[in-house]
Structure 1
């Protein structure tokens, strides 16, 4: 009599580069949330509103930096080594010039920013402006790693940025009580940009050292196509800035510091789904570009990531609906409990945006730009709605829900139309 033998499935002992990157981004997002939560608890709503403006500026800067990162990632996939060196030389110069120009604008008008956002100090804006060129260089560095699928090194740049900002800022806030917290937060952000440059791409170092290419070599690049993609990506990232940050800036302008601080805590909790969704965008972009380059179908990879985000966002909205006070109390403490009733609504708005955003980046990857333009229009519509209807924080959140539902409806309509048209042509 034979005894049946069964093979026990082996458990993988080593994470793939993609799995390692996903784990890293979850840890980085967790560290960034811990950074925000500790600041909120230590400073209280009024003082936290000043720190939240800098954090909002950081988020705005991250979207601008994402333009350089996405463009770098795309052409790291498409270009051979010789063309990639030339491309890196070109994009590095653009990044440095842009970073210096934006940084100088913030440094020159730092006092005007203080008046606009009613902050206690003006110097925090000056310090922040100095760091912008470093951030853009960091974005190119990450884009090249992303396009080359060097996920371990890409993950490490996020780890060094997050860990340095968390440790340096929180330590200084606790050890230097005489220094205004907003100044400490600004310095922490600046230093984290420097730490986030490591590990540094060799090609970028060569580009910084040798800024001139031999005559005729630059003709190897289709500069018009690169600049067109750069401008379209920049426009879409600008729409991201509007949709993600206009509410906090407008609330800071229209409401007092206490209300603005409460709303900032609401936004930080409610956006958790967006930051996790961003992780899938980082994985989606190079894969879609590579599949398109190889002439393969791209829709299955999109649908996989849309499913992930839909399940995750539904879970987060459910938790914030059932346990709003528990979530707010655990994260920020009892001083912020008065905002708990709005948590599920804000999470809903962010979840709808996160799903719509996956579609938008997918269309950007396959050179379909109509959704990019529509995203910009809806972002402006969101600002108009908040400007017209801001009699309460609840109304501000409801205006965002209306705008995000309209955005997702359009993205789905365009997706099905594009697929139907593609099927007819083939």
Structure 2
């Protein structure tokens, strides 16, 4: 946060500030996972990875609230915005409580399904879930209002608290380390609520939202919900299925592979965060948006090429530096997994672009390929190499279909 303040004084643009902040946050989250991987070892890291993956799985709901809030924070006037924010805050809290209670009530079943050492990790995680949803609505408001400084602070505070508190407690407390990981997630989500910038708008008189607009909001919410669900299926089902089908050590090795390979997706996300409000604003002003899409696709493609090349040329070095010698067995798969996530990241830019424009067919395409990926892993999981190869196949088809849709929509 001190870094953000000093850079702001040097007249750095809000967009540049946010992109730099995302790099810092992604770096911090990587350090968090790397430290856990080294301190816990492959078997226990597999349990920690389940909690982290659960957070990402629930993000399909939380991110839906964030994106819907971001879009209508741009589109709605002050008379309608307070009413919208109150409704979506209440809805997010209700959904968060229901989801959290479900995790707590079924904690025993979750322990048996994923072969974890304790069910208490799921109980603590369930308590954290409602805060995650409230935090997402606040972030959506900051995103829609282009308050990139506030958005950067909330992401950084969440990351720094989770990283610092978890490492500190791991060295101080002599209890189950997975229990400590869950506590770190809970506290970080609570503090990630700040800065809370909606207070001034919520105090304004709430104007009535007409039925037509209300239907538009609900439709966009449902479509975004479906798309975020497909994102989670594509991006996280492999870790859950590997944890179910393989022994703990192999599952921990695969979790480290996924973490390294997904650096492309995490980097691409900062462009998505900038893309959505910009596309909506340009569309509202009647301006063309394709050049913005091409620019971001170019950025992500260049990043993908660099990461694939690095993981292909120096796989063992990358694994040793990041996770240590205990994880080097996974090195030969690194470049293959990077290809799968690169294809997904580029296809994802196209999907969010069309979602911003209110075109929803790419969402259906992603949903079909997400389910196809799950089916392929269930059918073909003889070894970890096979799991990665079927993901490359699914993501190649997804990428081709998104490009075909873009060309067809351009002609029409």
| Class of the TM-score when normalised by the shorter of the 2 chains | over 0.9
Give the TM-score normalised by structure 2.
Answer: 0.96
Give the counterpart of 2:262 among 267, 271, 290: 271
What is the match of residue 56 of structure 2?
A: 59
Count of aligned residue pairs for this structure pair: 404
C-alpha separation between the residues in 1 aligned to 2:62 and 2:120? 23
Report the CA distance between 1:267 and its aligned residue.
Answer: 0.2
After superposition, where does 1:403-422 map in structure 2 within 5 Å?
403-421=394-412
C-alpha separation between the residues in 2 aligned to 1:410 and 1:168? 44
What is the match of residue 157 of structure 1?
A: 154
What is the match of residue 392 of structure 1?
A: 383
Please tell me whether the aligned partners of residues 85 and 202 of structure 2 are also in contact (alpha carbons under 8 angstroms).
no
Give the counterpart of 2:85 among 85, 88, 101: 88
Report the CA distance between 1:265 and its aligned residue.
Answer: 0.2
Per-residue CA distance 1:294-348 (angstroms, 9 max, x = gap):
0000100000000000000110000000000000000000000000000000011
C-alpha separation between the residues in 2 aligned to 1:229 and 1:260? 37
Gaps of 5+ in 2: 1-8
Please tell me whether the aligned partners of residues 85 and 203 of structure 1 are also in contact (alpha carbons under 8 angstroms).
no
Per-residue CA distance 1:346-391 (angstroms, 9 max, x = gap):
0110000000000000010001101101100100000000000000
1:181 aligns with 2:177: yes
C-alpha separation between the residues in 1 aligned to 2:234 and 2:392? 11
1:193 aligns with 2:189: yes
Gaps of 5+ in 1: 1-11, 422-426
C-alpha separation between the residues in 1 aligned to 2:10 and 2:92? 40
What is the match of residue 350 of structure 1?
A: 341
After superposition, where does 1:206-245 map in structure 2 within 5 Å?
206=202, 217-219=208-210, 222-245=213-236
Q: Indicate the structure (1 or 2) with the bigger Cα radius of gyration.
A: 1
Please tell me whether the aligned partners of residues 66 and 139 of structure 1 are also in contact (alpha carbons under 8 angstroms).
yes
C-alpha separation between the residues in 2 aligned to 1:161 and 1:199? 11
What is the match of residue 330 of structure 2?
A: 339
Give the TM-score normalised by structure 1.
Answer: 0.93
CA 221–131 in structure 1, closer or farther in 2 if over 3 Å, else same? farther
C-alpha separation between the residues in 2 aligned to 1:65 and 1:101? 13
Give the counterpart of 2:247 among 247, 253, 256: 256
Q: CA RMSD in A?
A: 1.5
Please tell me whether the aligned partners of residues 107 and 125 of structure 1 are also in contact (alpha carbons under 8 angstroms).
yes
CA 148–205 in structure 1, closer or farther in 2 if over 3 Å, else same? closer
Per-residue CA distance 1:40-81 (angstroms, 9 max, x = gap):
000000010000100101111223211011000000110111
1:321 aligns with 2:317: no
Structure 1 segments, 4+ long, off by >2 Å, are 61-64, 201-207, 216-221
